[in-house]
Amino acid sequence: MRFRSRFVAGLLLRTALLLGAVLLFVLALNAPGLAAARILAAAFFAWTVWGLWRHIQRTNFEIARFLEAIRLGDLSQSFSHRADGSGLTEIGDVLEAGIRALRAERHRLMEAGRFHEAVLDDAPTALLTVDSEGRVELTNKAARRLFTRHQGVRLADFAVYGDAFATALAGRTAGRPRLVPLTIDAIPQSAMVSAAMVHRLGGMVRVFAVQPIQGELNAVEIAAQSDLVRVLTHEIMNSMTPVTSLAQTAAALMAAADDGTSRDVGDARAAVETLARRADGVMHFVESYRQISRTPEVRRKLIDVAPWAGEIEALFQASDAAAGVALAVSAPEHLVLDADADLLCQVLLNLLRNAAEAARGHAEAPAVSLSFAQAPGGRVEIEIADNGPGVPESLRQDVFLPFFTTKAKGTGVGLSLARQIVLAHQGSIALAKADEGGALFRILI
């Protein structure tokens, strides 16, 4: 083989030179008066010994250099002296093939790493990691878009999104996904939080996936309520339509038959007319519920809040509900709201009428207020407050349910429809206690 012939030839040549150097050095020692020759012979002998040693060790040097480069992660190295008689012709080919395979594997791993990083960063679910020291890191774009209000990387810094969420992040073990209350842009909502333990850089970190699902929960709830109302109103109206028709016909017949001479006929006429009116009332009552079974169509546009609030104030003052009730409106200049002006005006007027009615029946100086303010996340906060009796805390969530009302003559439609309209704007509506002791409705759009 070429490797063996070149290596052996080089070895024989250097051995012959070494023997010649030994011979010359011996002759120089035995010849008197040749001090300079002795020195030259000794130098030539040393050079041949060094050359022979270097020839034999070159393979080890080249392999050691090559493997040291691999150990340090330098895959750009190659056997540049394979054909100079170092004996690395065949071994060099093998190692060159190996280094090319390592380069290809590194490239493949780098490509796979970039792909996995891109998938992780663009995943629609927010991902966070918590290390053993309690340091929180937002891992992908979804997390950075969702969590924008905190300052710092400690677990306590994430309490701005709710104590329950901070407690969930502090959990030390992985578990099944669970619903956790979460406050984003001042809007309370629910999120599905799941955790897993993974190895990273020799340690363990907890990975949390956070998926807000309040929108989906609201959509399911409203759809279920709409379906229920649609079925009930359909069945009731099918049953009441012939009753109403017959009652009206009977009332007309009794009116024609009652000439005022018979008391019994008069009583029967009064009873039938009462039945007809009541049947009409039931039909009107059922018809009022049909509107909450239809999803409101939102047509958004930018609203200049200050003049729009003035229009709402004028509409309220022109209604009977404003009689004897003081209204205070607060709307900062240059505040802009992205919403359906007509639908939201309907909601606010309904809430103002309810507030005025509650205040009028409770306070000596009934008063209501309507205020607008900028909220975190670019949203607008709208508050309607009154100095009425308020709503007990145990009923504050129930007031938005269809059919639920605390009024003697209420239908339970208004607040349910208001909630549907607000949710259709991807907003929230909540009921709390006002500073004056009455009800406070807070809307975030």
Query: Sign of torsion, CA 141 143 149 151?
Result: negative
Query: For 223-233, what is the mean pLDDT?
Result: 68
Q: What pTM did the predictor assign?
A: 0.54
| Cα 353 from Cα 317, distance rounded (Å) | 10
Q: What is the pLDDT of residues 159-180, one digit of tens each?
A: 888 888 988 888 876 677 888 8
| Cα 268 from Cα 275, distance rounded (Å) | 10
Residue type, 375: A
**226 φ, ψ (degrees, to nearest 5):** -65, -40
The pLDDT value given to residue 1? 47
Q: What is the pLDDT of residues 143-164, one digit of tens each?
A: 998 898 888 889 889 988 888 8
> Among 1-15, 28-42, 304-318, which stretch is predicted with the lowest mean pLDDT?
1-15
Q: What is the pLDDT of residues 70-115, one digit of tens each?
A: 777 777 777 655 445 445 566 667 777 877 888 888 889 889 888 8
Rounded to the nearest integer, the mean pLDDT of the chain is 80
Query: For 267-288, what is the mean pLDDT?
Result: 76
The pLDDT value given to residue 79? 60
Reported confidence tier of residue 291, pLDDT bands at 50, 70, 90? low
Cβ(305)–Cβ(380) under 8 Å? yes
**C-alpha 230: how far from its chain's center?**
33
